[in-house]
Amino acid sequence: MRGLLQQIVVLALGNVSTTVVEVKRRAVGGVIASLFFLTAYVALVMALAFFVASEAGPIAASLVVAGAAMAAALVVLAVVAVLNRQTERRMLERQAAMAARGPDPVTGRLIAELPVMMRHSPIVTTIMVGSLVYVLARSRGFGRGPRG
C-alpha cells in the first residue's frame, strides 16, 4: 500500500513545478499578445473611421464604426452561446456515460478500505485520497482541456 501511495504522490506532485512555469509563461505571453492585439484593434478602428470620414463625413463615420462594433459584439456573443451549449451537452453525455459504466474495481476496493485506513493514519489517508482524486481527474480529462 505504501508503494501505491508513493506512486500516487509522485504522479500528483511531479508536474507541479513545470505546471507553475507553464502558467506563468502563458500568462505573460497572453498579456503581451493582448497588448499587441489591442493596439492593432485601435489602429484598425481609427483607419476605418478616417476612411469613412473622408467619404461621408465624421458623423456618418462614427455611426458606421459603432454599428460595426455592435454587430461584431453580437456575433461574438452568439458564437460563445453556441459553444457553451455544445460544451454543456458534451459534459452531460460524459457524465451519463460514466454513470452507466459504474466505478472501476480499484476505486471500489479503495473506498471499501477507506474507513480502516482513516483509523490507522488519517493524515496519510487524506493525502492519498486527495492525490487519487487529482490523478483520476487528470486522467479522465476533467478540468482543463487537452494539452498541446
Cell of 116: 480502516
Q: Which residues contact 51 (CB under 8 A, 6 or more apart)?
A: 61
According to DSSP, residue 144 is labeled S
What are the domain boundaries of the chain? 18-102, 103-138
pLDDT tens readout for residues 21-68: 778 888 899 899 999 999 999 999 999 899 999 988 888 888 888 999
Evaluate whether 71 touches 54 at the Cβ level (below 8 Å): no
pLDDT tens readout for residues 101-118: 766 677 777 777 777 777
Evaluate whether 94 touches 72 at the Cβ level (below 8 Å): no
